[in-house]
Structure 1
């Protein structure tokens, strides 16, 4: 197809919508679809819009001011889910910190995007995937204020000589995702001699899920915590969130239940109380901001002696699937690295009462994430070599997967219903279902910090 110029946003949109209903096989005129990762976007660029992919800092349709992004999704029991994060543009540590948000590589490229979507179906050849939507997308005001702050967080880390400590969980919607072959694929940074992992600006998959649901498939918007976007111009989301809760610090659960007329004895009573403090009608985890930022609320009860009983668990592992994962693409990495947690902290007293102490937004620091990587790698190596299982003197099953005593951060232990709740091993046989845990002592240290 000949090189074509699109001068207006409307021209770009009309051409994009003409692809709706066509399969990638029908669109592909060069055989590019078979070239591997990233091929789908290239097929749309070359064979449909008629321009050659390039690495220019300007948006794809420069005269129209529109960037093309092709995004896959899955249909799940929980609804539409973005298949992956949306990678925007490389993060150049040596240059970006000297720019404003408006002149940044991210905003220059992605202020206005043509989003074209298709449903990814496992086992279906790429050539049979069908373009089903094409919309022009510009960030709503409330999201833009959060994204501006996300960008500032990244620039502040670069200026502090901490580009090597950047993590996807540092920010809410706009993240800096790994973009190298592995963690050893690094770049220089301007304010430290320590090399930093190669990264790119990206919109988190949780954010893209909500964009797909709301702006492409027309779902009703989720309940918002911050109702007025103007409030985010003079403070971050986290600061505004903490302000809303400040009047309730120090109150007991009994007082709070009486104040809000809550009689529930549900296990998640503390999360219900927090939702009431914020004036929410629904669940905290279902709010617009928590859904977009993939914020996970976790209630933590501090015992009278200052300890925390429970470690923090993650979903049950798929032993066999782990054999085909790399760390940066592993289930555990994608559960932990991009996620921001909200610790809802209550203090227990000797008489059994609980008092709302405070909240803390937390994401795992880069150094600690690397320690989890080590625990994950030892787990994979053990599964590959064959897990050793034996019974101790009390008749309990034991194994040689990583224990809490081996790492200050994480360990592996059972998470099945009982000893008969098992999963197959890659070397044959089966064992009790296991999961990764963050050590309770580690969680306590992070709360103290």
Structure 2
């Protein structure tokens, strides 16, 4: 296969990531023609990353200051994970980023820092380190696009400033990874002599590099492990689509009581757990993680429906609690509820029998009809109007009641509490506090949706 140069578009992040993901569950030996010059017992630190760059992506090994995929400001990094004695995995070491130049960094700002320009977007390849194997045979477990954003970005910015301020104060020699939270200043080239720098006077400092701490990387690994692909072999997708694959996975369980489903799967779940039926549904589809990759990428929301003998769902269907101030200020098209109901749903239906046993009934993908979305929009707009004008809260028989849209005001949706208890509150625009609320699909509406779906 040789050095790869035409398998992806280096001006398109999506193309690069898609090409990288072909490595998952494979090895560099299988995916390239690279040959290791080391014996199985000898390891050169960084060799995996060098071969990944050169033989798979066609990037000549370098230490340039710009990101590896310069056209899209994307840096390529690889890091090992290890198998733990008690089972499970953890990241083997911190992720080393770029060297710290003590002289030039003191003139940088966070927004225009060399660190941010090089590492804001990272294509991360995680492989399983196994002592007895040649590095070309290390199994690649995950490929992840890591972007410094959200709350992590703010914490990393604070860490960067803490490190740089210490250098400005002439205390680079005192830098410690204990100074910061996510972003560390790790020692690099520890055998080399300390170097003098402008702000340090006569006191030299050991060379250091920015790095993401090992625990930070382990938290990322945990997030990745919480998600699992439904399709284990891409060739399966060449024969049928995701919906057909899901149908085929669940078909053998139709009509079985949940205890029989567990027995067939040779598993034992906690049937008292709040998410028991979600866990069981994922296991029936061959996924043991908390999330299904394909569902996550396609914005498919899985919902469990339990039907009483009358065909009425045991409960209404809830969505995420909303922020009162956001609803008051947003337009319908900007709202989270609008996004939620426009995406595809996957309903897994269980039947509660007269003897209280529960049977898997059916499952189906569903998209909310436009006319019903229009009805839900009316409920949302009425909710917005009431919040803007001031929610009326009354107390009767020790309970609080409000004038937000109830289940009798629309055939589709309503609003009611979503808090854990009366202490789980959010502020209204007028400053008062109120129990968290969310939008719900009415029981009757869900009954109609299920009844109208024919296998």
TM-score (norm 1): 0.52
Equivalent in 268, 271, 280 of residue 265 of structure 1: 271
Deviations 1:85-141 (A, max 9, x none): xxxxxxxxxxxxxxxxxxxxxxxxxxxxxx9966356998xxx9x9xxxxxxxxxxx
Is the 2:394–2:402 contact (alpha carbons within 8 Å) kept by the matching residues of 1?
yes
Of residues 343, 347, 358, the one that matches 1:343 is 347
CA contact (8 A) 2:305 2:350 kept: yes
Cα RMSD after superposing both structures: 4.1
Q: State the Cα distance separating 1:356 from its structure 2 match.
A: 1.0
Asked if structure 1 preserves the Cα contact closer than 8 Å seen for 2:257 and 2:360, the reply is yes
Residue 436 of structure 1: aligned partner: 439
- In structure 2, the partner of 1:322 is 327
Deviation at residue 386 of structure 1 after TM alignment: 0.9
Distance change >3 Å, CA 354–CA 118, structure 1 → 2 = closer
Q: Distance in 1 between matches of 2:415 and 2:226?
A: 38
Pair 1:364-2:371 in alignment: no
Match of 1:308 in 2: 313
Offset at 1:411? 0.5
Residue matched to 2:388: 384
Q: Is residue 119 from structure 1 mapped to residue 149 from structure 2 by the alignment?
A: yes
Q: 1:445 aligns with which of 435, 445, 448?
A: 448
Helix, strand or coil: the match of 1:315? strand
Which residues in structure 2 correspond to 1:194-205 (within 5 Å)? none
Q: Which residue of 2 aligns with 1:14?
A: 70
Distance in 2, matches of 1:291 and 1:16, equals 25
**DSSP-derived class of the 1:345 partner:** strand
Q: Which has the higher contact order (CA 8 A, sep 6+)?
A: 1
The 1:401/1:351 distance shift into structure 2, 3 A limit, reads same
Q: State the Cα deviation string for residues 334-378 of structure 1 (Å, max 9, x = none).
A: 33323x322111112111111111111123222222221111111
Identify the residue that residue 252 of structure 2 maps to in structure 1: 247
Q: 2:73–2:121: 8 Å Cα contact kept in structure 1?
A: no
Cα distance in 1, alignment partners of residues 242 and 228 from structure 2: 15
> Any residues of structure 2 matched to 1:114-153 within 5 Å, and which?
119=149
Q: Could you tell me whether the CA contact under 8 Å between 1:345 and 1:357 is conserved in 2?
A: yes
Shift of 1:318: 1.4
- SS, match of residue 300 in structure 1: strand
The higher radius of gyration belongs to 2
| Post-superposition offset of 1:289 | 1.1
Q: Deviations over 1:308-336 (max 9, x none)?
A: 12001112221123222121122222333
- Deviation by residue 1:257-293 (Cα, 9 ceiling, x = unmatched): 222333332333333333333333x23x422212212
What corresponds to 1:373 in structure 2?
377
**Residue 322 to residue 72, structure 1, CA distance change in 2 (3 Å):** farther
Q: Which runs of 5+ in 1 are unaligned?
A: 1-6, 28-43, 45-70, 74-114, 131-212
Q: Which residue of 2 aligns with 1:422?
A: 425
Take 1:414 and 1:440, find their aligned partners in 2: how far apart are those partners?
Answer: 16
Could you state the TM-score of these two structures normalised by the residue count of structure 2? 0.51
TM-aligned CA distance change 1:15 to 1:258, over 3 Å:
closer
Q: Distance in 2 between matches of 1:224 and 1:445?
A: 32
Instruction: Name the SS for the 2:339 alignment partner.
Output: helix
Task: Write the distance in 2 (CA, Å) between the matches of 1:292 and 1:443.
Answer: 25
